[in-house]
Each structure stands twice: as structure tokens, then as C-alpha cells.
Amino acid sequence: MKGPSIVFENVFLSLGNTRILENVSFRVGSGTIHCIVGANGGGKTSLIRCLLGQMPHSGRIAIDWQAAPVTGYVPQALNFDQTLPLTVRDFIALTCQRRPVFLGVPRAQRELIDAALERVGLSGKSRFRLGSLSGGERQRVLFAQALIPEPSLLVLDEPMAGLDLAGKEILEEAIGAFAAGGGTVLWINHDIVQVREVADSLTYIDRRVLLDGAPAEALASGAALELFPTLVAKRPAEQRASAS
């Protein structure tokens, strides 16, 4: 499986009188992990929604599919009534099954769902009510649904929000394994330390593109000094730690 490459070219987005995105241009390579970083309200989620065809943008967004055009999408959060009788299995089956879920989930589908839950460390939770899970566990369920059917592009909108350390490691591993298999990952991520460790490339957006490139180069630029002062200040300490 080979993930698609994506080109954003002169993307503009205005909602009402507010300019959300301005002349955004960058490229996401096939089979890479590309992180989008930036301050709150900078237009990251809006950009993702432009890619998904949910925002009235102008400019060009082209996806060059190398395999079946299947997108796995992990939204920021589920805004639902937590008392709704809906198990984890019900929810995932809703996203990938045509037969009404109340008529049951076929065995083959159940196995797929259980396998996806295992990949995010939630084996045995398929019969739990979705509303009874913690916020972090629900994030992992959202990630699990994105894996069925096997996507070639994963679009992640802050999937680590609310996750504990163990949860972060599990998702990081799952994302890494997906990219290692050739899939493309477009990932909104606030954790710049994590971005530096796992991303092949990053784009910093605050209405327009302020940084773009491989993390090592982009974060060494002059602009990065202003955007991530704490990260840059940490570097000498990190160097001492690695030297010792």
C-alpha cells in the first residue's frame, strides 16, 4: 500500500468577514508523517476540513492517490449525549457497516473491529458503553474507527488530546506502523517535541504558512526561535543530557 501525496496551493478561506487561511501552500509527501502545528485559532482544523471538502475554500488542493482512495479521519472529539445506549462496537460498526447496527454486527465485522481496538490498546472494551469511557479512551476509539477499512491516508485532528502517557505511546506506535507500511499521515499536533521526534515534515500555520520543511531544518530557522522559544531554550540542556 502506498499513501497519496497532497498539494496545497494558494489556499484561501474566509468565513463571514474573517479571513481564516491566506495563501497557504505546501506539499505532503507520499508515505510520510506530516504534522501541522500552530497556535489555537490559527486555521489548522479549517485547513483539514478544506482538504476533506467541508469548507468553501479557494485555491487548489490536489490528492494524488497511489492506492485505493480511502481516508481514515480522526476528528477532535465526539460531541454526543454520553448517556446514549451505544457500545464501542456499535459506534465503530456505524462508521463501516450498511446493515442497521441494531440488527447486529456480523462476525467478520466484529473481528475487524476487535483487531482495530487491539491496535489502540482497547481490547476487551468493545462492549463498553461509549459514554462510560474516559476522554482519552474515546480518542483511541475514534482512532480505531479510522483504521476500518484500511486507509491509505490518515487525517488526524489532535488525536492525542486528553491522552495519558501510555495512551500517547500506543497511538504514536500505531501511527508509526501505519506510515512504515507506506500510508500518508496528515496530523494536527500541538506537541512540538513529539513532532520533532516522529514527523518527516511539518508546516506551522497561523492563518498563513510560517514554517515548512523537515523538523530539523524548520525548527532551526530564525522564525522558529520566535515561535518556539521554550523548545529552543531546551536544546543546550538536551545536548548536555545526550552527551552525558
Partner 1 sequence: MSELYDIPRQFLIDLADRGVIHYTFLYAFVVNGFLCAIVIGPLLGGIGTMVVAKRMAFFSQAVGNAALTGVAIGVIIGESYTAPYFSMFSFCILFGLLLNFTKNHTKMSSDTLIGVFLSISLAIGATVLLWVSAKVNTHILDTVMFGSILTVDDTDITVLLLTTLLIACVALPLYNQMLLASLNPSLAHVRGIRVKLLEYVFVLLLTILTVACVKIIGAVLVEALLLIPAAAARNLNRSIKGFVLWSIVFSTASCLIGVWAPMRFEIPVPSGGAIILTAAAIFLVTLVIRMTVPRFREASI
157 near 75, Cβ under 8 Å? yes
> Cβ closer to partner 1: 47 or 93?
93
Sign of the Cα pseudo-torsion (109, 113, 114, 116, in order):
positive
In the complex, what is the shortest distance from the CB of residue 20 to partner 1, in angstroms, rounded to a whole number? 16
Residues in touch with partner 1 (CB under 8 A): 49, 52-54, 71, 73, 75, 78-81, 83-87, 90-91, 93-104, 127, 129, 132, 145, 155
In the complex, what is the shortest distance from the CB of residue 45 to partner 1, in angstroms, rounded to a whole number? 9
In the complex, what is the shortest distance from the CB of residue 71 to partner 1, in angstroms, rounded to a whole number? 6
190 near 158, Cβ under 8 Å? yes
> Cβ closer to partner 1: 80 or 181?
80
In the complex, what is the shortest distance from the CB of residue 116 to partner 1, in angstroms, rounded to a whole number? 15
User: Distance between the two ends of the chain, CA-based, in angstroms?
Assistant: 42
227 near 215, Cβ under 8 Å? no
| Residues 43, 74: Cα–Cα separation, whole Å | 17
In whole angstroms, what separates CA 81 from the centre of its chain?
24
> Cβ closer to partner 1: 32 or 46?
46
Q: At what angle do helices 135-146 and 88-96 cross, to 10 degrees?
A: 30
Other C-beta atoms within 10 Å of 50: how many? 23
DSSP for residue 103: G
> Cβ closer to partner 1: 84 or 115?
84
> Cβ closer to partner 1: 33 or 148?
148
**Which cell is 53 given?**
471538502
Q: Which segments of 3-70 are extended strands (E)?
A: 5-15, 18-28, 33-37, 58-64
Main-chain dihedrals φ then ψ at residue 9, nearest 5 degrees:
-135, 115
**Which cell is 137 given?**
479512551
In the complex, what is the shortest distance from the CB of residue 114 to partner 1, in angstroms, rounded to a whole number? 16
In the complex, what is the shortest distance from the CB of residue 120 to partner 1, in angstroms, rounded to a whole number? 16
> Cβ closer to partner 1: 32 or 145?
145
> Cβ closer to partner 1: 31 or 151?
151
